[in-house]
Structure 1
């Protein structure tokens, strides 16, 4: 029986091949979050959920930034471009009197994104009082990577709202 000795550069070459062939077949889990997601209306029982949650969500990533583009029935397209695991940043709002600060966290397992937004709303011309609230949006990828569950919780001076919807990835 003949023994093959691999040394120096040859050993490095074998190690690189091993990494390429064992690791390249699976993209990082977080890349499975990237893509265009449409609401699975069979999973949304209530009309309010269909109106409150986005009809579709487009998630993209470039470097250390994630862009979440949502098609909201009431508002149209809303885009948040946030740096992963950074301090909250102020996001421009189109609604007068509203201010918003957002921070995005990518889960350690790469299967979820959490966006925490703090809103401050000024007293308006009609005399409605100023108020503030916090919204936490969680985007959770299923084990098989084919469904995305989005949970939206808003908590503030006026109480708490909870919405949840399931999305299917468009091929």
Structure 2
């Protein structure tokens, strides 16, 4: 039984939801998100609560049911509160700075690496060794943060690189001489 799919999503007062068949638009103070969901799952809205109904008890429907509810909930949270990912730059001379809408990363390469800010996401560099990615779409915020992290992945010998805040990098023992 899908426990997540059976939970209702309570809408905050500042959020509006519109259904067009299997397309859903959620509007709130942080913007507007639209997504197409599976036509098998039905939405039922009563006052400020949205519930999800699946047609049968097959395993595939149970997974689609839970995924639909989780994605819809992420849309509601995104337009009302927003999402954020924080990254740290660890290494001597590693730094990040904003230049207009571009993020400039100096992470040990011969040239600085420029990362464009996509629409719907804001990137901040409050300190030389910190980057914050904010936006209303959880998926897009995660993609941009992963793209920034992939510029210089944390390496296991010295621990240098770009990592998520709070991420633990397991260090390996280096070579030993004879």
The interval holding the TM-score normalised by the smaller chain is under 0.3
* Higher fraction of helix: 2
Q: TM-score with structure 1 length normalisation?
A: 0.26
* Higher fraction of strand: 1
Structure 1 or 2, whichever has the larger Rg, is 1
